[in-house]
Chain A
């Protein structure tokens, strides 16, 4: 363990067995010390960033039927919706009025919408001065299938219509054995990574997420991290990694919600394994403000989003709310300067 600590502090790259040893056996505070030291090396300035955006779900109609999801409605089922232009315009205008710089747009895999619908949507959104961080690799794979195009062609069309960047959703656990159990109709792990790498090749930045604590093993969480690290080595376009714990309420997967210690261990190991991804976001949405604040000493350097609107985690029974002022107070309480950022982690002036 001491040899591993020395290796980490001398910028050595961890292999799988070393990561596993740390994840399973390192004392919690030792993991924190190492992850925080690496974070301070990458980001020596005492700053914690956050973005002000709104999660807009354009539709909850979805053909996937993922077992972990409490948000979707099957086509034809009661309670399905598709946002109108008026609703969308109002949400964007509110976001701008609240100092937001971007919208994160995601939706179910709607069976009937052609690619032109999404292109029109992007063109409409880009009539506003706002960054559009939209869709996820599984949505792009779905659009390609409906349109009979390649995913690279879909990305090019969406980019031409105004897409600015792609959020890292739908990654869940990037191991097909797990994906077959929890989300059999979503794209596989290789395709998820391939779509992100295609986006990076076309000049779009993306993030990457991980949802853990359902039917994966601890080793498969590490496989996910190593798959991302290899992908980043190839294409280099991931700006941030965002792990969060599965929230089982109202879903088809019975599981004990993972706790704070389990979250913090994974977060710290993420920072140690992902030596080529600059930013690690803490998840106050699933962990609450107190553990999110503590997570700033476990490798996290970004407080995520003000989440002017969030629907998906809330559907799974968890509803923390934080104002921008509260985020600033929590960051300052941890001894850092809060700074509002954009998707690409450039800082806004006067924040």
Chain B
């Protein structure tokens, strides 16, 4: 079925053969794939890898987002969500308020995704209390909480190491770390878009520490702002190296940058094809990370469906209440119902599989 003559004409026969064989690809290969003018030729290679790993399964999770505060000291140029300390519109949930929000959902989540701004006044005891309360109320849910950036911030506030922070949170019920805050590792870009955030080494070190403690984590790439395709490839290869060292990444989440409400002005905003190329190249380069997410909140529901044929295997989930992407201008839905997700995935010609936070199949 796989017609290599198509790749010969594109000058990619050798690369296509290596990709089909599942061989490890180089940075140069990644750039050559990005440059492929026929986007479905690239998509077919990524889909072949995705099918080799997961067949026709399309994963989804009954999950819930919770943002405990939008107050943040970092002032990242791309962020439409944060408020400075003291600025109007800032909020911080009490533990009781957080629980009240979740109690409004009809079905209990299997995964609770908790992230927030780097608040200057919230101590580690607040987060320990939050985790314990969530664990008590939802003993069967995985608590996927706090990006590496937040972990570093907590450590700084408390004057302890990030490893100690992770250990204390783990004792309080933390199951895994989400993949946020990675943005793009390339230093020249990172210092422009999020100068106050931990650098690439810090982000990767904290994930490595989490992996050593037995916490699995996700990882992300924020693309479509000031970075080049080479920066994206560099980012993917740094994730791959880290995964070779410690092996705890479960899912990679490519996040397209939404320009609408951001202070960051972008000359050449993403289009749909560049999103799909980036997802496909990610699948092909990240040979040691099992899952790639089609995050419908940022991609839009229809593009996320297409992404499931460009290397992604996970559709994320019900989400319930998404704020960060929507503040940035996402025009996708706020939440999706279980039945809608399953019918949609089946309509895509895939087999919907409900999973837990660690991608174990449920039911």
Contacts and interface: CB of A to CB of B under 8 A. Distances in A.
A256 interface: yes
**From A36, A259, A288, A329, residue with most partner B Cβ within 10 Å:** A259
Interface in B300-354: 300-303, 305-306, 308-309, 340, 343-344, 347-349
B40 A290 contact: no
**From A27, A36, A289, residue with most partner B Cβ within 10 Å:** A27
B276 interface: yes
Interface string B29-69: 00000000111110110010000000000000000000000
15 contacts: A28-B309, A28-B349, A29-B47, A33-B44, A36-B38, A256-B344, A260-B348, A261-B309, A261-B347, A261-B348, A290-B272, A290-B273, A290-B275, A290-B299, A294-B272
Contacts of B271: 289-290, 293, 329-330, 333-334
B302 A259 contact: yes
A29 B44 CA distance: 6
A297 B347 contact: no
B40 A261 contact: no
B209 interface: no
B1 interface: yes
Nearest to B304: A260
Given A29-B43, A30-B1, A36-B38, A259 B272 contact: no
A335 B41 CA distance: 14
Contact of A2 (B1, B340, B343): B1
B272 A289 contact: yes
A256 B40 contact: no
A118 B176 CA distance: 67
8 tightest CB-CB pairs across the interface, nearest first?
A290-B272, A29-B44, A32-B40, A333-B271, A260-B302, A261-B348, A260-B305, A290-B303
B1 A297 contact: no
Contact of A293 (B40, B273, B300, B340): B273
Given A33-B3, A333-B271, A260 B43 contact: no
B272 A261 contact: no
A294 B347 contact: no
Contacts of B41: 29, 33
Contact of A261 (B6, B274, B305): B305
Interface residues of A, number: 31
B303 A33 contact: no
A262 interface: yes
Given A260-B306, A291-B302, A334-B273, 10 more contacts: A261-B349, A290-B273, A290-B299, A290-B306, A291-B303, A293-B271, A294-B273, A297-B38, A330-B271, A335-B37
Interface in A1-51: 1-2, 5, 27-30, 32-33, 36
Interface string B157-187: 0000000000000000000000000000000
A261 B44 contact: no
A256 B302 contact: no
B198 to A, nearest CB: 32
A49 to B, nearest CB: 18
Interface of B: 1, 3, 6, 37-41, 43-44, 47, 271-276, 299-303, 305-306, 308-309, 340, 343-344, 347-349
B125 to A, nearest CB: 45
A289 B39 CA distance: 16
A288 B296 CA distance: 14
A272 to B, nearest CB: 15
A178 interface: no
A82 B151 CA distance: 63
Contacts of B300: 288, 290
Nearest to A213: B347
Contact of A294 (B306, B308, B348): B306
Contact of A262 (B3, B47, B274, B348): B348
A27 B45 CA distance: 12
Given A259-B302, A260-B302, A293 B347 contact: no
Contacts of A291: 272, 302-303, 306
A227 interface: no
Contacts of A264: 306
Contact of B276 (A2, A287, A289, A294): A294
B302 A288 contact: yes
B1 A1 contact: yes
Contacts of B39: 294, 297, 334
Main secondary structure of the interface of B (DSSP, over half): helix
A304 to B, nearest CB: 16
Contact of B303 (A260, A298, A329): A260
Interface in A256-295: 256, 258-262, 264, 287-291, 293-294
Contacts of B344: 256, 259
B306 A261 contact: yes
Nearest to B272: A290
A5 B2 CA distance: 12
Nearest to A31: B40
Nearest to B350: A261
A290 B349 CA distance: 20
A293 B299 CA distance: 14
A256 B343 contact: yes
B338 to A, nearest CB: 13
Nearest to A34: B3
Contacts of B303: 260, 288, 290-291
Nearest to A298: B40
A259 B274 CA distance: 20
A219 to B, nearest CB: 17
Nearest to A320: B331
Interface string A77-103: 000000000000000000000000000
**From B274, B343, B349, residue with most partner A Cβ within 10 Å:** B349
A36 B40 CA distance: 10
Interface in A300-343: 329-330, 333-335
Contacts of A298: 40
Contact of B272 (A28, A30, A36, A293): A293
A27 B3 CA distance: 12
A2 B2 CA distance: 10
**From B3, B299, B306, residue with most partner A Cβ within 10 Å:** B306
Nearest to A265: B349
A258 B346 CA distance: 11
B169 to A, nearest CB: 38
Contacts of A297: 38-40
Contact of B309 (A5, A29, A258): A29
A21 to B, nearest CB: 14
